[in-house]
Amino acid sequence: MRGTWLILISLSLTCAESDFTLLSQEERAGIPTVYFTEVRKVSRQNAETDHSGDFPHRDHDVKVVLEDHEHFAGVKRWHLTFMRGEEQFTSTLAIEENVGSEQKEFVFPIEMVTDANAVFITARDEVGSSLAFGSSLIKIPEMNSFLAWVGTAYDPAASHLRVDPGTLPVVEIGHHICKQNMSPCYILKERLPEVVSRCLTLTDLVTDAPVLLCDETMIPFNGLTMGLTVEFTEDHTVLLSLEPPQDEVVKSIEVIAYHPRDPSSVFSPWDSQCDPLDAVGESGRIECSQNLRMTETPDGIEVVVVVFTSQNGSLPQSVQLTHWFITDDAEAQIGAIIIGSIIGGLVAVGLIVALVIFVRKNKNMSKGKREAAVTTSAHYTSAPTSDPEPAQYDDQI
């Protein structure tokens, strides 16, 4: 029943000439049918820029997962096609020999086609004969969410993640919930998976079978390349100064300041914005300031600076900085005096102890000599002595 409905729907679609052609009812009758379970938008496997075809600026691939099926011998190419009205977008994946799960999961060099209303997959042999065919009648919505590793490169033990739901109403990551009207959201120094899936469950309009549609693209860390200076004022304000290249325009700056020992204590406002302004009297220099939410100055502060420019689009440049606040000179001098007094006292005590040990040692040696004159069976072994080790102090700022 499912195969019959797929044939009727497929034959109602019109295709332009390309590597993909719809099969007639007679052609399908003699070949197995495969069924989609997942269609995923994934990060590109080949980082080289592809300026050809229908997607000159493609930044991702499409992974499809099929239901379990028998092995098809002799497959040399798989074709994936998105249909959008009378438009078709086809990608061809050449393979060597398929075994086991290799015939269930495929990554095609093609973009996810927004508003496509059907997806097709075909297996062909060396001469172009079709060995298997599958289709799913689903409407693909726009799935643009932007998850970027910032501050430092991805670390499975402790990473910084910037979350922008984009066209999705909400993105959930563990116990974190980032809503579209509250973005961007930051997850700071937490143990996170390298890939965070954002998924919707669609229903095939013909078979009523569920098809999982996911976005798994992650924006890798992109270090800040422009000059940066950061200052902190007594009124709990962070001041930034940037020197962007002449051909770049800084569009926005986000500053996320938090306690280095407790990342849940965030001092920056919820929107993290630091509005860039041209520096007064300094051409080409950008400045911004952000008032931090704190009642007293902690011993240190950690900051992630995220910069968007006219050239990097949605790919942010970022850097992580740690600043430990230095106590004033008077406090430092008092501390030095106290530490010096303690050390001096310990040295004096050590000298006294050493003197007592020395005197006792000489007395025992003299006594031993006198006893040795009386009997040869009496022996004296000097006890090992050592000066007390000086106390260790770690100077921390």
Share of the chain above pLDDT 70, in %: 70
pLDDT in tens, 186-240: 999 999 999 999 999 999 998 899 999 999 999 999 999 999 999 998 889 999 9
Residue 396 predicted with pLDDT over 50? no
Residue 348 predicted with pLDDT over 60? no
Q: What is the mean pLDDT of residues 130-136?
A: 92
Q: Please give the residue that has the higher pLDDT: either 199 or 380.
A: 199
Range of weakest confidence among 106-115, 248-257, 313-322, 331-340:
331-340
Query: Predicted confidence band at 347 (pLDDT cuts at 50, 70, 90)?
Result: very low
The CATH 2.60.40 domain(s) of the chain lie at 2-136, 227-324
Query: Predicted confidence band at 279 (pLDDT cuts at 50, 70, 90)?
Result: confident
Strands 210-215 and 36-43: parallel
CATH code for the structural domain at 227-324: 2.60.40
User: What is the overall mean pLDDT for the chain?
Assistant: 78
- Choose from 6-10, 34-38, 354-358 the range with maximum mean pLDDT: 34-38
CATH class of the domain at 2-136: mainly beta
Residue 5 predicted with pLDDT over 50? no
